[in-house]
Amino acid sequence: MIDPVRHRQLEELDTVNLCTRILYNSRNELYLNMHFLDISLSSLGFEADPSMRGLGTDGYVICYNPDALLGLYKRGRRYVNRAYLHMVFHCLFCHLDTRGKRAEAYWNLACDIAMESVIDNLHKKCIHVSPSPYRREIYLRLGRQLKVLTAEGIYQALQNMNLTETQYQRLADEFYVDDHDKWTSEPPPGQPIPRQTKWNDNREKMQTEMESTGQDLSEKGEDQSLLEQVQVKNRERYDYKRFLRKFSVTKEELMVDPDSFDYIYYTYGLKMYGNMPLMEPLETKEVRRIEDFVLVIDTSMSCSGELVRRFLEETYSVLKEGESYFKKINVHIIQCDDKVRSDVVITDKNQMEEYMEHFTIEGKGGTDFRPAFEYVNALRAQGRFTGLRGLLYFTDGKGIYPVKMPPYDTAFVFIQGQYEDVSVPVWAIKLILEEEELKEAYEY
């Protein structure tokens, strides 16, 4: 007679083996229909977890409650396929790592809506389930506000809806697919690549594969929603610190230079002569950082005050990191519409913090870029700068540009979809920021 405990263990093992086969078959079926997902589909292992209420992933494995998975399979293979694909998409779009300071419940819902909208638009038989009228209504409502239904954009739209608890719960029930509790789990020991780095690489390879298939996705409509999501996510988020390095100068600063320190001679001297090392580290080091800099804010009627504030907040976040700037700086923050309205000189981080705390927009007239350049040129002539390398002008581009190229680099900063650049001089740098990314940086 078989021991009851042993019998139960064998039954559990059989169940796990069956669930593993179901997931493997789902992976294979998805691959046969979407070859560009090859690497991503193979990036998740499988692990049974009876404590879970359903399925979920930590970015490394798909964890599942065996009873829940079998129940999903009984409904139909396509429901397992959709769940598998839904979790892979969460990983591909780094939903597990980019919540930041957003409300967790609304972020989870936004991520689910975004991924379900992509799956519902893929038009693949292996995952097709007709969307409910309520779901289609939500897609239409969000589509009126967003060009691409990204999780970041949907989150903001949900916040603006002022949902009641009942409305929120109906949305959550409609779009629930997987458990997100594993998103904050610690990585398994011995993982050589960080989770987000791994999936960023997978997503970039996926875009390359999709774009190199030779299919006109825009005409067929097939996979277009997914490709748009991938392109938006893969668009290199502006690295403001790296961009500002264009305006940096090389200068010696008082600090220990570890690169010049030779431990062999140092320890040899201590060993042979007691407390007399043969070599001391240098007390100065050559570094490239921002010293003189001009930031001009277009305060005309056509510029959004909210975006101006967020742009300054992002500038401040870079400034306060410290390694981008010398200890003593000379940053002029100029507000200008059709004439210079104010010029605040920032010499350290404390002054920048105070400026941000009491920041107000001055102006709201027309736009003329020339007065700001004339004013800065006058400051240079007065010796107010020692090594001005650049001027950054945040604007919508609707104004009169100077004809003559200034003796320092100039960049005009625009918000995507909210600018005109037909008259931008050829000598100027153009930096185009995404509004959603600027909002994301502000909230993160």
Dump the DSSP string for 26-80: HHHHHHHH-GGGHHHHTT-EEEE-TTSSSEEE-SSEEEE-HHHHHHHHHH-HHHH
pLDDT of residue 8: 67
pLDDT tens, position by position, 312-346: 877 776 665 544 454 567 889 999 988 899 999 98
- DSSP-H helix ranges across 275-419: 305-319, 349-357, 370-381
pLDDT for residue 27 is more than 90? yes
135/168 Cα distance (integer angstroms)? 13
The model scores a pTM over 0.85: no
Summarize the chain as % helix, strand, coil (round to 5): 50, 15, 35
**Tens of pLDDT, residues 350-408:** 787 788 888 888 877 788 999 999 999 999 999 988 878 789 898 888 888 998 999 98
Contact 60, 9 (CB under 8 A): no
Task: For the beta carbon of residue 147, count every other beta carbon within 10 angstroms.
Answer: 10
Considering only CA atoms, which of 28, 66, 75, 67 is closest in space to residue 46?
66
Interatomic CA distance for residues 121 and 335, integer angstroms: 46
- The secondary element (H helix, E strand) that includes residue 156 is helix 151-161
Would you state the pLDDT for residue 323?
47
The DSSP result for 213-225, as a single string, is S---HHHH-TTHH
Give the per-residue pLDDT at 265: 58
Mean of the pLDDT values across residues 27-51?
92
433 SS3 class: strand
Domains of the chain in start order, with CATH, are 4-234 (no CATH), 241-253+288-443 (3.40.50.410)
